[in-house]
Structure 1
């Protein structure tokens, strides 16, 4: 390497993770070794033998080592690491706890430890990526086209080099697949419950001019924990009368197989809901098991 005339040459010696930088050129001479800044000179001093030959003497072991040309310290550091009785104090080993982070995250039943330095076997599953993408959109109510955003895909490719772009149509299909699986799981849960309570809520969107209805199921599990699940969130086509509302409640009750388990039903104070309750009791026999006959 060519140096400018005004620069000071520097000798660089790398040994076992330690760097020795001392003035004097690559093969230059150092008049005072302690000015070099190497950790070795904290544990060695120069000694002159009776024959006038100079040696480097270990302060802990009285071991005499040769003085290298340019007074480099690689061999001195090796002595401190491998032979010196004080090597355990000079170079303490890192405990395994310091090389690993204790932060852990549980994600879909899998515990992920952050900051681990060890290497683990990993199998990339494109099917799992699609499923988790659908869960992400479902949980955070993202639009389907987020999966096609340019920067979002660049982020994933930077993190997972073998990631393949997914279209919104594939995610949409996976999305409804997730819904079907969750619905079947809820049906299985409700099959083990003796009684449920329903609440309905209806409203009219003035901007969209669309009527909505949501049906929520409340139940207590075997451990006496109260749960709430949305069974249906639909657009109710006009006319928004009691017959239309009763038809939707009857349909949802049959899908989730709870027609004979309804213990109570709470509705808004509206004349259409009064008609809805009357139809459910008379025509569908849906509320035959309500407390105190409703």
Structure 2
């Protein structure tokens, strides 16, 4: 018995391992030790079906798309499965999701992008492909648009991503198109590897310009006052001067950011009351943390023993005096940092207002204000002590101001001798710049004339043969040939000789670009000069605004984004926003959400009262 019990399993193992050997079915499958091997599922149809067991114990195959259950044949045939898949509507809809069609920029034929999804829809992969498609499509459109632009002004700045520990450089282009509309585009948002020297910055900028094909169209570059930027501008200026593409000898090429200068001036003044500002800041945080504290703000010092940052009465008086000084800076900053980036003709009056305020307050009887403002004035003179030629030329091209603006502003900003010398400097640069535009226009005229034949009479004979619109084109060529004698008075002299334009209605609503557009036929050369001068950005606010978007894109959850993907997202978003006329919204202050609080004031006898 022991021999039989030990030998039986061995026999069973031998029979089971031997292919093709089976035993008759005795009706008890669980007790039958000899089982037939299952046939392998080699058909691809099984990848879209799963085997399920019904409550009655029957096995069926369920479609993963529509959940229809089919009989599993004993022979292992999958014909019924393939027939069902060919008719399954859910499967067809799922397969269509694997192909997404986008219209191309050049024609109406859609372009199909088939991602490598291995039969599975990957949303992250599709997001990447869509971003790449939008970026490349809009970049091609922008590149075509830039070919029609004659001069482009740039702003650039550097930004360090705290989440990625990388340095990025943004390059923004500014120009006014043929319809006299001010355009601004983020051209590049690229990673700048260390070291971040002036030469490295200049090299990065030049590579970006070559990528767009606009290296010979650069007018000015606006940067902040970092030393590395000064070196970069010097290197770029030397390179551009070799090709002779800089107007007026490059005198206008380097533009210092006005917003940065104003910030430096204000910071020097606020340094005098830094401890007061810290107390007020901590007080605001402490009181806003509880609504009950906010309601009893005038007596919070008496009721709350944990409150230690209460500004004294003298501190509040100093803050009130400082706010009067900062009102002028606030108005200038709102103009400079506006969402609809202003043209360059508006800044000279703002700088003059700041200068007049500093001169007045520097002689104040209050020693505190006098010391603070004199320190601010030193910073002002460091950057704007010399005449800002670009700002003055742009203001002259405002038909409301003309030469009268420097005759009014310079005596307020400079001494009598300096004012006269600066007026001569600005006038010389203005006429030198206009002369270069006249020469460029004559070169275009000569090029047109060289295509015509004869001395003008041949052009008339040719016009007689041509009909319709082409006749007028040939007539324009004829005028270029026969009217080569320059007028006795230049366009610039005519413009300056006329009186200043007087606005009807709201003075601030005047648009200098629309005025030049209406008078472009009267001043064809001067209007082209005004179009390119007024487009020059006086600040780098346009580039710095990209960094706020960059901080939202590269947050702690997206710190692994590659620099190329970051550029696609930021540039593509900027281009699409401009294409659809979408502007960044501003939060509106609602008066009903403001809680009015009463501050303690001193009475005549020195006691505190609630005012």
Instruction: Answer whether TM exceeds 0.5 for this pair.
Output: no
Higher share in helix: 2
Higher relative contact order (CA 8 A, sep 6+): 2
Higher share in strand: 1
TM bin (shorter chain): 0.3 to 0.5
